[in-house]
Chain A
Amino acid sequence: MPVMTYLDAIRQGIWEEMERDPSVFLLGEDIGDYGGAFKVTAGMLKKFGAERVIDTPISESAIVGAAVGAALMGMRPVAEMQFMDFISCGFDQIVNMAAKIHYRWGAKVPLVIRGPSGAGVHGGPFHSQSNEMWFVHTPGLKVVVPATAYDAKGLIKAAIRDDNPVLYFEHKFLYRRIKDEVPEGDYTVPIGQARVAREGTDIAVITYGAMVWTALEAAEQLAKEGVSLEVVDLRSLLPYDEQAVLATVRKCNKVILLHEGTRTGGMAGELAALLAEKAFEDLDGPIVRITAPDTPVPFSPPLEEFFLPNAKKVAEAARKLAAY
């Protein structure tokens, strides 16, 4: 099976959908000739033409609003945010226009908003945010967060084919750092389905995005110490895979909830509430959250390193929890 980067997998997924379905088109800043700030859309203008790969003015609200309009007319727009941080400039069109149309009057809005999120590259407070939870709190949207190249391709295809607005959060740290096997040809990864990234028996680590790799690194370390971590990659946050979350906790009876987003109102809080409701009897230890602290993402390398969860922090927490 071909091995490719996370970034190439996204590109291939979009490319194949563009070939498969003429209603799919792209819009965003610098995505044409330039191929996008991170080159996700490189080569697409040449292949698909300027009507399907649209360079826009710096107008995020209009990018999203126009995508909504086109979606209502039967197209499947894929809008790029140059950085997911800038999605706030299109916020109203997403959370009020796109998200509520189907509920209010039954029309479908099949659009995708995608772009790089996440920290680890010294981008500072405005190029590093993990702001997926802004949208997880908005019924009517779907939110996906691929961690592997395989899922990146499968989820972008699923997102494009979905009849609802889907926010597709790429992690910029993974773009060229992660490579894995991606089958040739068509496949999708269903939205709302988690996967077990590593089987284990002692502690469940439930996470998503770049932190999947952090959890796997910690699991590797702890395996040497005789503690078995099971790593569950949520892949979708809205809707999220309740059954998979409950299953891993019922199996391991201890749980660490891990993410790069900030703590209060983070995904871990939601999962902890679910576990308190539905898996109370299955827990043999306190629910442990490992998250970024409640601060903006700082720029300077030592600050950013302190801010981000890492394998060492996960391993330490896991050791403590194992001994509980």
Chain B
Amino acid sequence: MTKSRNHRIAQFPDADTLGRMLYYLKLTRAAEERIERVLYRQGKIVGGVYVGRGQEAIAVGSAIQLDEGDVVLPSHRDFAAYVIRGFTLKEIFANWMGRANGPTRGRDNTLHLGDMARGVIPIISHLGDTCPVACGVAMVLKWRGQGNVAVVHFGEGTTSRGDVHEAMNWAAVMKLPVVFICNNNAYAYSTPVEKQYAVKDLTVRGPAYGMPGVKVDGNDVLAVYAAAAKAIARGRAGAGPSFLECKTFRMTGHSAHDAAEYVPHDLFKRWEEKDPIRRLEKRLRAEKILTRGEISEMDAKIQKEIDDAAAFAEASPMPEGETGLEDVYCGQNCNWGKTSVVSRLLSFATDNGPRTTDN
């Protein structure tokens, strides 16, 4: 067995990490706004559009701590996890628009973007299916003995799927380095939590399978960071899986076509006040980690990155129909990597330092 790498473990992020977290929070919010409220409405994005407005802190506060060799399996609302692991905005926008040079070559939509080189296994629409996959990943990580972890995200509604239960039990029995992160945003499509499960907090599910169950304020990126740090450290140390229930709120409809009329209006107002971005921004300014000027610079940079990515995607070609016949199997007639322009250009930064999303 190879020797364990030195993984940095900290309960509290340093100033640089704090700044990067604010950047990824803001980037996620702004990019998803462009996707949902501009490009979709202009008809430039077709099909289903799901975003994670209001719950960005969960992916940011956890994925920011992942090292080389770790694997993340994000949910459909964890945009930041993709970006932090090295997917560029150009790739992401190209994929949303079904372009030939998107990471799926136009075969799949939304955030269904995977790349083992970047340690990202995407969700499939079938909720919960990634949880057992995370166990398989973690088995191998454990065998390799380098202290790596698998982090899998899913909504609270998804916890009703049998696959999630099988996976949590499996991970506990085999003491696997998996962090199960439940993005509890109070709704599963139109279904409120009372109709989804009969316990007050899902955290009881942790001990029920033999792992810690931790309740986290999902709208506080620092709380997410601290809880994830502990769970990740536990995984790295070989002590087994953890379950984090990050409480948050879906500040949109289920998808772009859903007006969420079933959500009591004051709930949006109440959760607006707990907005994770404003909270961190306020704190960083109060602690003089970032100035007002630096933050507006950050905002401007983000807008420019998004403009560039959207323009790049729009200028990118649609796939030729016949190319859909390729790549069903590995081996014959496989053009993977030869036609995905962006993938070819991209080299994955293996350090854990800041990554620009602009290639």
- A-side residues, CB < 8 A to B, are 29-30, 33-34, 37, 55, 57-62, 82-83, 85-86, 88-89, 121-127, 293-296, 298-303, 305-307
Contacts and interface: CB of A to CB of B under 8 A. Distances in A.
Interface of B: 46-48, 98-100, 104, 106-110, 112, 124-128, 157-158, 160-163, 188-191, 195-197, 262, 318-325, 328
A293 B322 CA distance: 10
Contacts of A88: 126
A324 to B, nearest CB: 26
B157 A299 contact: no
B98 A301 contact: yes
A298 B318 CA distance: 13
A125 B189 CA distance: 20
Contacts of A86: 125-126
Contacts of A30: 189-191
Contact of A89 (B161, B189, B318, B325): B161
B195 A303 contact: no
B160 A126 contact: no
A296 B125 contact: no
Contacts of B47: 121-124, 127, 299
B257 to A, nearest CB: 10
B333 to A, nearest CB: 11
A127 B46 CA distance: 13
Nearest to A121: B47
The 9 closest A-B pairs by CB, nearest first: A306-B321, A300-B106, A300-B98, A126-B125, A57-B160, A34-B190, A303-B324, A122-B47, A124-B109
Contacts of B188: 29, 58
Contact of A296 (B107, B127, B128, B162): B107
14 contacts: A33-B262, A55-B191, A58-B160, A61-B162, A86-B125, A89-B163, A126-B126, A299-B98, A299-B104, A299-B107, A300-B98, A300-B106, A300-B318, A306-B321
A301 B191 contact: no
A89 B112 CA distance: 19
B220 to A, nearest CB: 27
Contact of B158 (A58, A123, A296): A58
A200 B48 CA distance: 40
A127 B189 contact: no
B324 A307 contact: yes
B42 to A, nearest CB: 15
B158 A122 contact: no
